[in-house]
Chains A and B, each alone.
Chain A
Amino acid sequence: MALPPKLQEIVADFSGMSREEKLETLLAYAETLPDIPDRLRQRFDRMEDVPECMTPVRVLAERQPDGGLIYYFDIPPHSPTVRGLASLLSGGLNGSLPEEILAVPADFYLPMKLEEAITQQRITGFMGVLAHMKHIAVQTLQGS
Chain B
Amino acid sequence: MSYAHPEYLVETEWVADHLNDASVRVVESDEDPLLYRAGHIPGAVQVDWFSTLQHPLRRDFLSKEAFEAVASSLGISNDTTVVFYGDKSNWFACYALWLFQYYGHQKVRIMNGGRLKWEQEKRPFVKEVPTYARTQYTAKDPDKKVRAFRDDVFTHLKAHRPLIDVRSPKEYSGELISMPNYPQEGATRGGHIPGAVSIPWAQAVNEADSTFKSAGELQALFDGKGVRPESDVIAYCRIGERSSLTWFVLKYLLGYPNVRNYDGSWTEWGNLVDAPIEK
Contact = CB atoms under 8 A, between A and B. Distances in A.
Whether chain B is bound by chain A comes out as yes
A54 B34 contact: no
A27 interface: yes
Interface stretch (B139-147, B179-187, B201-209, B257-265): B179-187
Interface string B29-42: 00011110110000
Given A78-B87, A78-B115, A119-B50, A84 B34 contact: yes
Nearest to B34: A80
Interface of A: 23-24, 26-27, 30-31, 51-56, 78-82, 84, 117-119, 121, 124-125, 128
B38 A27 contact: yes
A36 to B, nearest CB: 20
A81 B34 contact: yes
Contacts, number: 46
A118 B179 CA distance: 19
Contacts of A56: 181
Contacts of B33: 23, 81, 117-118
Contacts of B181: 51-56
A125 B182 CA distance: 8
B184 to A, nearest CB: 9
Contacts of A125: 183
A128 B32 contact: no
Contacts of B50: 119
Q: Which bucket holds chain B's interface residue count?
A: 10 to 19
Contacts of B32: 78-82
B182 A54 contact: yes
A81 B48 CA distance: 13
B262 to A, nearest CB: 20
A117 B33 CA distance: 9
Nearest 6 interchain pairs by C-beta: A80-B34, A124-B183, A81-B34, A80-B38, A54-B181, A81-B32
15 contacts: A27-B38, A51-B181, A52-B181, A52-B182, A54-B179, A56-B181, A78-B115, A80-B32, A80-B34, A80-B37, A81-B33, A117-B33, A121-B182, A121-B185, A125-B183
Contacts of A30: 34, 38
Contacts of B35: 78, 80
Interface in B244-271: none
Q: Most chain-A CB neighbours within 10 Å: which of B50, B183, B185?
A: B183
A116 to B, nearest CB: 9
Nearest to A120: B185
Contacts of B185: 121, 124
A80 B39 CA distance: 11
Contacts of B115: 78
A90 B148 CA distance: 44
Interface string B180-202: 01110100000000000000000
Contacts of A23: 33-34, 37
